[in-house]
């Protein structure tokens, strides 16, 4: 086991499944205790709940907190749970939803649901975590945006808007909270999860195979690809990295 995050504690929202699950496992493999914050315990892809898996696979502590990131009290509970593990050092605002839509058909309810989870959840997740971090020895906040937060998507205007907001919030917080708290954003491209294979099947079938060949990396990303970058940003290896975006897309945006 690596010691990159030894004796640190992380809250990872949306970590029962997919990218959040991979981030939690990678952090634990590198010495961190984990608060798994999600609205569900069971992984969408099947298998053992994340907090139980971490306890089996590593020597680290892990606990589950039922957390709807659109609810401030739930976010507070997730951060408070770190007190059992010496307080929060790392906050990963990963929870989010995606929806393809036609702009002229978006309802107010549709808009408010997506923005509450993707933007409000990230804003107040960062706020609750930062309050504790500035009272202690600092920390690292990592916000999961998307390549859609850089270039936009005609199929998902509300989602693109929300992820653009996450990107700019990241830069603003890096300036306000530095140097004690580092704040960075990750912009994944197409990552193979239940969302991209089932909810919005971008990675499945002939269409998916053709799409993959248009990416410079010649494949879709995996949750572990994102987790490795998240580990770097959370660790002291990134001690001089703040207020920046890291694109994890196999070259899709710039050369795809």
What distances in angstroms separate CA 192 from CA 80, 93, 115, 224, 236, one per listed residue? 32, 19, 23, 10, 29
Q: Are 42 and 66 in contact (CB under 8 A)?
A: no
The one catalytic residue among 98, 111, 159, 240 = 159
Per DSSP, the residues of 231-253 read HHHHSGGGTT--S-EEEESTTHH
Q: Are 189 and 246 in contact (CB under 8 A)?
A: no
Measured CA to CA, the distance from residue 227 to residue 94 in angstroms comes to 11
CA angle 235, 117, 120 (to 5 degrees): 80
CA angle 31, 32, 36 (to 5 degrees): 140
Q: Are 141 and 173 in contact (CB under 8 A)?
A: yes
Measured CA to CA, the distance from residue 207 to residue 80 in angstroms comes to 45
Q: φ, ψ for residue 246 (rounded to 5)?
A: -115, 120
Q: Is 159 a catalytic residue?
A: yes
User: Residue 201: which of 186, 220, 217 has the closest Cα?
Assistant: 220
DSSP strands (E only) in 67-164: 90-93, 139-144
Q: Catalytic residues, which ones? A: 159
């Amino acid at each position: 086991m690596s010691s990159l995050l030894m004796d640190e504690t992380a809250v990872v929202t949306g970590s029962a499944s997919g990218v959040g699950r991979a981030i939690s496992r990678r952090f634990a493999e590198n010495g961190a205790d984990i608060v798994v914050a999600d609205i569900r315990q069971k992984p969408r892809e099947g298998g053992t709940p994340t907090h139980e898996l971490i306890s089996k696979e590593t020597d680290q502590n892990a606990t589950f907190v039922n957390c709807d990131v659109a609810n401030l009290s739930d976010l507070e509970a997730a951060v408070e749970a770190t007190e059992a593990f010496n307080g929060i050092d790392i906050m990963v605002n990963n929870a989010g939803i995606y929806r393809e839509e036609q702009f002229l058909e978006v309802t107010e309810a549709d808009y408010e649901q997506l923005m509450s989870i993707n933007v409000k959840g990230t804003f107040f997740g960062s706020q609750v975590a930062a309050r504790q971090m500035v009272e202690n020895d600092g920390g690292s906040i990592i916000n999961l945006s998307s390549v859609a937060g850089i270039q936009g998507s005609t199929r998902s205007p509300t989602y693109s808007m929300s992820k653009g907001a996450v990107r700019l919030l990241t830069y603003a917080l890096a300036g306000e909270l530095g140097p004690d708290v580092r704040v960075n954003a990750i912009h994944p491209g197409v990552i193979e999860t239940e969302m991209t294979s089932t909810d919005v099947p971008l990675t499945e079938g002939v269409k998916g195979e053709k799409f993959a060949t248009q990416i410079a990396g010649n494949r879709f990303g995996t949750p572990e690809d994102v987790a490795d970058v998240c580990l770097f940003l959370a660790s002291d290896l990134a001690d001089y990295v703040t207020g920046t975006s890291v694109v994890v897309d196999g070259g899709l945006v710039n050369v795809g």
